Amino acid sequence: MLIQIDPSNGIPIFQQIIQQVKYKIAGGIVQPGEQLPSVRQLASQLRVNPNTVAKAYTELEREKVVITRRGMGCFVAETPVVIRKQEKIKIVSALFDRCLTEAFHLHLPWEDVETLFQERLKSIMQRSQS
C-alpha cells in the first residue's frame, strides 16, 4: 500500500492517512482481510511520527474499517465498513461542495460538471468491479 501525504496542505496528517486507507479499500487496492503495514513500517515509509500513524489506525479501528489482532497486526475488516449513513453523507457532501466551489470559481458550466461527475462515477464503478 502506497500512501502519499502532504504536510503543507493543512489537513492533519493522521486524517490524510485515514482518508487514503479508506480510498485504497474503496478502490479495491487493499482488500478485506488483507494486512496493513505495521505502525512502525508506515511511520518509516512516510517519515512521520509513529504516534500519528497509531492515531490513524486507532480511528480506523473505531470506525470498524480495520481490526487489530493482538500480536499479529492490523487487518482490513472482512465485514463491510459500518459508518452511519448520515455520517457518510456528511463526509461526501463536504467533498462535493469543495469541488463545486472550485468549478464555480473556474466558471465551468454546471452541465459540464454534471457530465464530468457521470464520467468519473462510471470509471470508478468499472474499476471497483474488476
Partner 1 sequence: MNPPVIAILECTKQFRRTVAVKHLSLHVQPGTVYGLVGDNGAGKTTTIQMMLGLFPPTKGTVQVLGLDPIADGVAIKKRIGYVSENREMYEWMTVSEIIWFVKQFYPHWNDALVEKLQKDMELPAKTKIKHLSRGTRAKLALLLAMGHEPELLILDEPSSGLDPLVRREILEQVINLIQQEGRTVFFSSHLLDEVERVADHVGILCEGRLLMDMPLDELKDKKRRIRVAWDGAIPDTRHLVQVELLESAGREASFLTQNFSEDLLTQFESLKPVSVQVEALSLEDIFIHSVQAAKRRVS
What residues line the site for partner 1 (CB under 8 A)? 7-14, 40, 43-44, 46-51, 55, 97-98, 101, 104
Say if CB 20 and CB 29 are below 8 A apart. Answer: no
CB-nearer residue toward partner 1: 7 or 32: 7
Least CB distance to partner 1 at residue 42 (A): 11
Beta carbons within 8 Å of 125's beta carbon, 6+ residues apart: none
Least CB distance to partner 1 at residue 75 (A): 21
Q: Which amino acid is at 2?
A: L
CB-nearer residue toward partner 1: 11 or 124: 11
Please name which of 81, 74, 12 lies closest in space to residue 42, comparing C-alpha atoms: 74
**What is the number of residues in the chain?**
130
Least CB distance to partner 1 at residue 78 (A): 29
Say if CB 3 and CB 20 are below 8 A apart. Answer: yes
CB-nearer residue toward partner 1: 49 or 128: 49
